[in-house]
Structure 1
Amino acid sequence: MKASDIMTTPVITVNPDTPLHDVVELLLAHRISGVLVMEDDKVVGVIGDGDLLHRHEIGTDRWAEYRTWWQRLTRLDPGPVAYVKANGAHAGDVMSTDVVSVDVDTPIAQIAVIFEARHIRRIPVLKDGQLQGLVTRADLMRALAASDSFAMRSADPDVDDEAILKRLMSELNSHSWWSDSWSSVFVNKGIVSYVGVVQRVADKEAARIAAENIPGVCAVEDRRTLYGEGQAMF
């Protein structure tokens, strides 16, 4: 899947001169957490609910009073920048200008990485520099909910043990955390059993998830021995 498959369109936008009161009304009326700021058909900024946390109207601009001693020691006072954010009356005053965008053909896997790395919640989608849509974290959740593989994770009694084992081994062998040298897998009446040894709890959890995602699996038993830190596997 790519950006154009999941993006929201048309996109609600404002311009830098839009009164901030109107921006807040838009957010509330459309039940969204942010809007793009456009000027001359170009995305020049974004306003999210995080940009409105510290406002003088509700007294949340006095953030410095509530910092811990450690924050006071390690963080610079933003001074005029914070003042503009807290008191500005227009979209251009409070918007974040560091906007990352993607192309309509950008894979959603790459978009997910950007969300995580940049700690953002929305990404404008462009084609030849022109706004086409907007992808939010909610759009990724909708794509997940609509996924056939996600919707069909319940047990299927018509799948035989041999088919389950074949599919499970194909999945396990595609990951570096799995090793046939130290673990064995058995399937009996839809119950997957792991025996052997494993170094990390996370390896057992990953193996459980791999099995649970196979149609026909009704239970997972992992009897593998967990080796402690610093112990070698012979």
Structure 2
Amino acid sequence: MKAADIMTRDVLTVKPEDRIADVVALMLEKKVSGLPVVDAENHLVGVVTEGDFLRRSELDTRRERTRWLEFILGPAKAAADYVEANARRVKDVMTPDPVTVTQYTPLADIVSLFEKHKIKRVPVTANGKLVGIVSRVDLLRALSKQLSRTELASDQTIRDQITAAIAREPWAPPYIPTPDVEDGVVTLRGTIFDATVREALKVLIESVPGVREVRDELVLVEPLSGVILDQPEGQSGRN
């Protein structure tokens, strides 16, 4: 999937000359934590977020630095702190030249940008103009849509897909027998030596289209001693 598949196209925006008081009221009204800033031709010039309003004189949260640190940093930094705490226009607090993506950027790359830059949204641009925005909420909507899909598949198809999926994963044990599948119910049997791998196998199987239920009949064994740590009811003894 790409940005164009999930992005919000009707984007709420603000202008650099907009009053901060109006923008804050708009963010509260629309329940958003950030907004793109565009010029008269809809070119993206910045982004303003709730984080830009944390250090404010009105809240008595302005940055306070010791005199020796102010001396080291110089008057320019002190002046920037003053602007941050007292500005009245968006242009004075917004983040210019924000991270952007195109309509063709894969979702995997967008998620990497979220993590790398610690951001919650990324504008989508074409030739410098804003055409959409992808937020974490958009990702959640896409995930919800995918999770709610109900697919039908034959038991043989499910079995083949499970086998192929297990073969692709480097952590998956190659000695696990092919699971039994009946009417979409998968029964997982065999011996496993790691509880985490056991859970990962169940998650893998649950993600295969057509699977309705996973029945875990795996035997968990301590690898060095051979002691059985967990097994299905009705079984006993050592591995």
Q: TM-score range by the shorter chain?
A: 0.7 to 0.9
Residue aligning to 1:102:
101
1:87 offset after TM fit, Å? 1.9
Residue aligning to 1:112:
111
TM-score (norm: length of structure 2): 0.75
Deviations 1:94-152 (A, max 9, x none): 212251111111122221221122111111111122211111111111111122xx114
1:192 is aligned to 2:197: no
In structure 1, stretches of 5+ residues that fail to align are: 66-71, 229-234
Q: Greater shift after overlay, 120-129 or 2-11?
A: 2-11
- Aligned residue identity for 1:49: E
TM-score (norm: length of structure 1): 0.76
Residue aligning to 2:230:
none
1:64 offset after TM fit, Å? 7.1
Summarize the Cα distance change of 1:84–1:198 in structure 2 as closer, same or farther, 3 Å threshold: farther
Q: What secondary structure sits across from 2:96 in the alignment?
A: coil
Q: Is the 8 A contact 1:88 1:94 kept in 2?
A: yes
Q: Is the 8 A contact 1:8 1:135 kept in 2?
A: yes
Q: Using the alignment, how far apart are the partners of 2:18 and 2:140 within structure 1?
A: 31
- Aligned residue identity for 1:140: L
1:223 is aligned to 2:222: no
In structure 2, stretches of 5+ residues that fail to align are: 225-239
1:180 offset after TM fit, Å? 0.4
Identity %: 31
Summarize the Cα distance change of 1:226–1:159 in structure 2 as closer, same or farther, 3 Å threshold: farther
1:172 offset after TM fit, Å? 1.5
Residue aligning to 1:4:
4
Q: Using the alignment, how far apart are the partners of 1:48 and 1:94 within structure 2?
A: 9
Count of residues in Structure 1 that have an aligned counterpart in Structure 2? 212
Aligned pairs for 1:1-234 within 5 A: 1-39=1-39, 41=41, 42-61=43-62, 79-147=78-146, 150-152=147-149, 159-160=154-155, 162-181=156-175, 183-187=176-180, 189=182, 190-198=185-193, 201-214=195-208, 215-221=210-216, 222-225=218-221, 227=223
- Aligned residue identity for 1:207: L
Q: Is the 8 A contact 1:103 1:125 kept in 2?
A: yes
Instruction: Give RMSD over aligned pairs.
Output: 3.1
Q: Using the alignment, how far apart are the partners of 2:92 and 2:223 within structure 1?
A: 56
Structure of larger gyration radius:
2
